[in-house]
Structure 1
Amino acid sequence: MELLTVYETAKLLKLSTNRVYALIKQGVLPSVRVGGSIRVVREDLEQFLKGDRKYDTE
């Protein structure tokens, strides 16, 4: 399981880190907490990019 930082996730998505934090807060992009840091599991990011509806808040 590969964990990505918010910064790494933002670079991959070509978004700002603030936008990634907003997606996480909205529950659109799944994340995990490691200590005091937020991480995104690469496999979850790939599912998000494929449009897997289980991550959609609508």
Structure 2
Amino acid sequence: MKRIKKFKGWGIYQNNNKEIEEYGFNVTVLHPDNMEYAYMCSPSDSDMEFDTVEAAENWIKNYDK
């Protein structure tokens, strides 16, 4: 996973080709509570599965409501 950005405290990461093949999605979203340990996380720790960064950001925006 490669960190793309931090959005409202959440981590948004791009999965590499091996991770996409194994887990079946492109973008991992880590809960703010997990960000301290993000270096130990994998796509299996994702709160939701997304194919685009925009979809992840929209989900985070609605999660906070």
Fold conserved between structures, TM > 0.5: no
TM-score normalised by length of structure 1: 0.26
TM-score normalised by length of structure 2: 0.25
Larger relative strand fraction: 2
